[in-house]
Amino acid sequence: MAADGSGGGARKPISVLFVCLGNICRSPMAEGVFRSMTKSDTRVATIDSAGTGAYHEGSPPDPRTMSVLEENGENGYDHQARKIRISDFKDFDYILAMDADNLHDLLRVQKRIVKNSGIHAASAKVMMFGDFGGRGGEEVIDPYYGTRDGFTIAYEQMTRFSKGFIEQVLHGVGVAPS
């Protein structure tokens, strides 16, 4: 990938896809936070989010996701839930899962793509978003069935993970988790 930090020349801007189960709580929150943090950063080209399931396809984010984003100054975020696509594994440099189940599902799909289409059809780095939070493998618990407090906790995690990603991947401090 051109965004891997190797070589001495200018790198192409990276693309990042955040993934949870239904794409209405965690991954759109991660997308909103990351968009806000990188809005003027030319090293980031594309930011999106998706779900491993199509349960809420076409729906806006959960109102609790939106209220926590707005409460923290993340205004004007617009999103419609979608399911992960095979093309995402080629179109994005990083696909970041919110929990181990999402990661397992994504790796299974990626393995199937590689088997059926070849390695170049699935070149994205698939990993846990929580690997960038300082506690390897940290998961974002799905707040959907809980109270609004779960969304506040998720927001705090998204902020910490986004800062870690920016520091490790964009600024090249330390080594990006593998």
- In tens digits, the chain (178 residues) has pLDDT values of 444 444 445 678 999 999 999 999 999 999 999 999 999 999 999 999 999 999 999 999 999 999 999 999 998 888 999 999 999 999 999 999 999 999 999 999 999 988 888 666 678 999 999 999 988 889 999 999 999 999 999 999 999 999 999 999 999 866 555 5
> What distance in Å separates the CA atoms of residue 114 and residue 119, rounded to the nearest whole number?
5
> What distance in Å separates the CA atoms of residue 104 and residue 164, rounded to the nearest whole number?
22
Whether the model pTM is above 0.75? yes
Please pick, among 48, 62, 88, 142, the residue that the annotation labels catalytic: 142
Is 26 labeled as catalytic in the residue annotation? Answer: yes
Please pick, among 26, 35, 64, 88, the residue that the annotation labels catalytic: 26
Task: Please name which of 73, 48, 96 lies closest in space to residue 155, comparing C-alpha atoms.
Answer: 73
CA dihedral (154, 13, 86, 109) in degrees, to 10, reads: -60
Tell me which residue has tokens 């618990």.
141
Please pick, among 20, 25, 62, 88, the residue that the annotation labels catalytic: 20
> What distance in Å separates the CA atoms of residue 128 and residue 136, rounded to the nearest whole number?
9
